[in-house]
């Protein structure tokens, strides 16, 4: 009897072995080849991959090896920014975010820090001192500030580590023809870009899980990467999706927060003639003067990239909107991404604006032809862009103004108080015809590279100039020590590149007021713009007192 049972078991085992061998032979074409990515990689979440990337040969295998994942919202995620700031992105399932009560970031040890709203769906908090010496850094939870703090290690398996802003795919734009992904940590040095042929775009569910498709990268420059859209069938059954960059066959995709969307339809309505785009941090005090002035001379719409402001920017923008000014704010917390921000602004607004002025809120366009004008008019800026179709960019030189004796922000604004400047022109800023921007979107903040067939027009100071109120009262100026926003400019706190034109002459690496600061950079007394703005914008109140139109 025992021998009969043994024989039966052996027969069954041999049957299954032969069946498995036959199936493997018949369906071998469905398995990845030796040079394709292995199945272990396919089953790992993109944000957990360490030494693997989704190869092109593996894309067709994904449909065979697993059924489509269920739709799930993204989990709560966080990014460690510079200066120990934490950007917290709660999951859409987090009800605490909409409670309206004071909130805090609750870390795994029970330590907390105040959570301040940052943009429409995010919060900023500080990593507590007690956690800065320990690795890894875990994503905090959003908690009501009044709740009892307690740690949560062991309640999540595994806990999510913070992403790092120094290596992150942080934004994407879908055009009709391709996808543009903005990524930190790939092209790390100016003019040393990895070849597009060595890179891939990787598409994966935002909730985590394996990648569903990859496509070729067609352009790699600075922090902007262009690639083809994935096949619609790969991204139609589940969502939302994210997109990242892989730097090689054995390299993990860069961690990503960049959401991917299929391209929408063309924008409705006509294009505006002139818009302005800038990146701001705590610029609410200066914004009304800048907007009121430039709107009066012809700028029709303003795009602000908010680099984590902590002042009254939101309320100031709201007030300007109620006064009829067209001002749009985009939350852009990513450190040292000014070039990428300008590239983003150029591509997403191409259908809305013909020309874009890339200038800062302490820079004012002016022409000596306007010296005798009694009133501003919207054709003033228009006269600067009245050029032939071959002109893709207009370069305007800067005149840099000093503190002019002021120890605090001058009454009436920068145009009224800062009237003494350096003699020589320094650098330039540009008005860009958006259709003329190079496919790479490369820019140096001051100007863009252009497509073939377009040229840059250099404007002489006698025709137009940019009043740059760069060296203000020390109390205002020292805020620049916080961080330079350009990806390729050394922060002033670093004792490097001290001869850079970005730094004031003689200024060291510490925010200490130089002796005689209030009278520095004063070589020419220049009141042209002050006099013009007094004629144009002075208002008389009922009590007879005068004020500028931008004073609240």
User: Would you state the structure tokens that stand for residue 448, as one six-digit string?
Assistant: 């863009």
> Distances from the Cα of 543 to the Cαs of 175, 345, 535, 546, 551, in angstroms?
55, 44, 19, 9, 16
Tens-digit pLDDT profile for residues 419-432 = 999 999 988 999 99
In angstroms, rounded to a whole number, what is the distance separating the alpha carbons of residues 165 and 168? 6
Per-residue pLDDT, 2: 45
Task: Indicate if the pLDDT at residue 273 is higher than 70.
Answer: yes
In our burial notation (b when 16+ CB lie closer than 10 A, e otherwise), range 253-272 reads bbbbbbebeeeeeeeeeebb
CA torsion angle for 438, 441, 442, 443 (degrees, to 10)? 100
Give the SS3 label for residue 169: strand
Q: What is the mean pLDDT of residues 147-172?
A: 77
Specify the CATH number of the domain 272-540. 3.90.550
Binned at pLDDT 50, 70 and 90, residue 153 comes out as: low
Binned at pLDDT 50, 70 and 90, residue 66 comes out as: very low
Q: What is the mean pLDDT of residues 289-300?
A: 99
DSSP secondary structure code for residue 352 in this structure: T
More confident residue, 76 or 493: 76
Task: Indicate if the pLDDT at residue 236 is higher than 80.
Answer: no
In angstroms, rounded to a whole number, what is the distance separating the alpha carbons of residues 137 and 77? 12
Identify the CA nearest to 199 among candidates 187, 212, 183, 217: 217
Backbone region of residue 101 per phi and psi (left: phi > 0; alpha: psi in -120 to 50; beta: other values): beta
Per-residue pLDDT, 101: 79
In the chain, the percentage of residues whose pLDDT exceeds 70 is 78
Pick the CATH number of 165-260 from 1.20.950, 3.40.50, 2.60.40, 1.10.10: 2.60.40
Task: Indicate if the pLDDT at residue 199 is higher than 80.
Answer: yes
Q: What is the mean pLDDT of residues 351-373?
A: 97
Least confident span in 10-24, 230-244, 317-331, 394-408: 10-24
User: Would you state the structure tokens that stand for residue 346, as one six-digit string?
Assistant: 């150029």
Per-residue pLDDT, 52: 26
Tens-digit pLDDT profile for residues 473-515 = 998 888 776 655 565 555 545 655 555 565 666 666 677 888 8
Strand partners of residue 458 = 395
Task: Indicate if the pLDDT at residue 71 is higher than 80.
Answer: no
- Give the H/E segment covering residue 321: helix 313-322
Q: Are 520 and 400 in contact (CB under 8 A)?
A: no
Per-residue pLDDT, 100: 67
Per-residue pLDDT, 51: 27
Tens-digit pLDDT profile for residues 102-143 = 899 999 999 999 999 988 889 999 999 999 998 899 999 998
Q: What is the mean pLDDT of residues 232-254?
A: 86
In angstroms, rounded to a whole number, what is the distance separating the alpha carbons of residues 364 and 362? 7
Task: Indicate if the pLDDT at residue 8 is higher than 70.
Answer: no
Per-residue pLDDT, 24: 42
Per-residue pLDDT, 18: 47
In angstroms, rounded to a whole number, what is the distance separating the alpha carbons of residues 152 and 160? 12
Task: Indicate if the pLDDT at residue 232 is higher than 90.
Answer: no
In angstroms, rounded to a whole number, what is the distance separating the alpha carbons of residues 89 and 54? 27
Per-residue pLDDT, 494: 61
In angstroms, rounded to a whole number, what is the distance separating the alpha carbons of residues 89 and 118? 10
Backbone region of residue 367 per phi and psi (left: phi > 0; alpha: psi in -120 to 50; beta: other values): beta
Q: Are 162 and 237 in contact (CB under 8 A)?
A: no
Average pLDDT, the chain: 83
Tens-digit pLDDT profile for residues 81-95 = 988 999 999 988 776
Per-residue pLDDT, 366: 98
Q: Is the dihedral of CA 247, 252, 256, 258 positive or negative?
A: positive
Q: Are 248 and 236 in contact (CB under 8 A)?
A: no
Task: Indicate if the pLDDT at residue 150 is higher than 80.
Answer: no
Q: Are 36 and 61 in contact (CB under 8 A)?
A: yes
User: Would you state the structure tokens that stand for residue 470, as one six-digit string?
Assistant: 């760069």
Task: Indicate if the pLDDT at residue 389 is higher than 60.
Answer: yes
In angstroms, rounded to a whole number, what is the distance separating the alpha carbons of residues 484 and 337? 10
User: Would you state the structure tokens that stand for residue 34, as one six-digit string?
Assistant: 């030796």
Per-residue pLDDT, 441: 98
Cite the beta strand spans of 334-479 per DSSP E. 353-358, 363-366, 391-400, 420-421, 428-433, 455-459, 465-468
Per-residue pLDDT, 148: 61
Per-residue pLDDT, 156: 55
Q: Would strands 353-358 and 272-280 be described as parallel, antiparallel, or unpaired?
A: parallel
Supply the DSSP string of 23-79, one letter for each residue: HHHHTGGGS--TTSPPHHHHTS-GGG-SS----GGGHHHHHHHSPPPPP-PPPPEEE
Least confident span in 100-109, 211-220, 433-442, 504-513: 504-513
């Amino acid at each position: 009897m025992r021998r009969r049972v043994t024989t039966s078991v052996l027969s069954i085992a041999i049957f299954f072995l032969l069946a498995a061998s036959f199936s493997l032979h018949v369906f071998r074409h469905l398995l990845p080849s030796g040079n394709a990515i292995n199945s272990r990689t396919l089953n790992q979440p993109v944000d957990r991959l360490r030494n693997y990337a989704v190869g092109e040969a593996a894309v067709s295998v994904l449909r065979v090896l697993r059924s489509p994942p269920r739709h799930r919202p993204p989990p709560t995620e966080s990014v460690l920014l510079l200066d120990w700031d934490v950007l917290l992105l709660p999951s859409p399932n987090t009800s605490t975010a909409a409670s309206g009560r004071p909130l805090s970031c609750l870390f795994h040890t029970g330590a907390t820090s105040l959570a301040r709203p940052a943009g429409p769906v995010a919060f900023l908090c500080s990593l507590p001192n007690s956690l800065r010496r320990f690795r890894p850094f875990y994503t905090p939870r959003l908690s009501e500030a009044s709740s009892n703090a307690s740690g949560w290690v062991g309640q999540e398996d595994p806990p999510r580590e913070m992403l790092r802003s120094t290596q992150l795919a942080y934004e994407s734009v879908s055009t009709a023809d391709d996808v543009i992904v903005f990524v930190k940590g790939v092209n790390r040095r100016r003019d040393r870009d990895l070849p597009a042929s060595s890179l891939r775009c990787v598409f994966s569910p935002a909730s985590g899980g394996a990648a569903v498709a990859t496509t070729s990268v067609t352009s790699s420059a600075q922090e902007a990467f262009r690639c083809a859209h994935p096949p619609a069938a790969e991204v139609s059954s589940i969502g939302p999706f994210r997109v990242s960059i892989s730097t090689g066959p054995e390299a993990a995709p860069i961690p990503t927060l960049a959401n991917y969307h299929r391209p929408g339809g063309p924008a409705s309505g006509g294009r505006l003639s002139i818009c302005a785009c800038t990146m701001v941090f705590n610029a609410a005090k200066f914004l009304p003067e800048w907007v009121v002035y430039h709107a009066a001379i012809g700028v029709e719409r303003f795009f602000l990239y908010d680099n984590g402001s902590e002042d009254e920017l939101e309320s100031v923008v709201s007030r300007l909107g109620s006064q009829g000014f067209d001002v749009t704010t985009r939350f852009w917390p990513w450190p040292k991404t000014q070039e990428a921000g300008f590239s983003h602004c150029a591509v997403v607004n191409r259908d809305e604006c013909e020309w874009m002025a890339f200038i800062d809120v302490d820079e004012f366009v002016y022409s000596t032809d306007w010296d005798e004008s009694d009133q501003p008019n919207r054709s003033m800026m228009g006269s600067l862009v009245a050029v032939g179709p071959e002109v893709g960019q207009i370069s305007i030189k800067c005149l840099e103004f000093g503190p002019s004796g002021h120890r605090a922000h001058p009454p009436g604004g920068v145009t009224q108080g800062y009237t003494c400047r350096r003699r020589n022109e320094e650098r330039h800023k540009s008005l860009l015809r958006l259709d003329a921007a190079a496919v790479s979107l490369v820019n140096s903040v001051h100007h863009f590279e252009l497509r073939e067939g377009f040229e840059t027009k250099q404007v002489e100071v006698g025709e137009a100039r940019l009043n740059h109120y760069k060296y203000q009262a020390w109390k205002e100026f020292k805020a620049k020590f916080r961080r330079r926003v350009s990806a390729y400019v050394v922060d002033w706190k670093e004792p490097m590149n001290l001869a850079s034109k970005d730094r004031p002459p003689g200024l060291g690496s510490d925010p200490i007021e130089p002796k005689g600061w209030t009278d520095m950079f004063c070589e020419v007394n220049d009141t042209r713009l002050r006099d013009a703005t007094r004629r144009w914008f002075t208002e008389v109140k009922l009590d007879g007192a005068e004020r500028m139109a931008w004073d609240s």
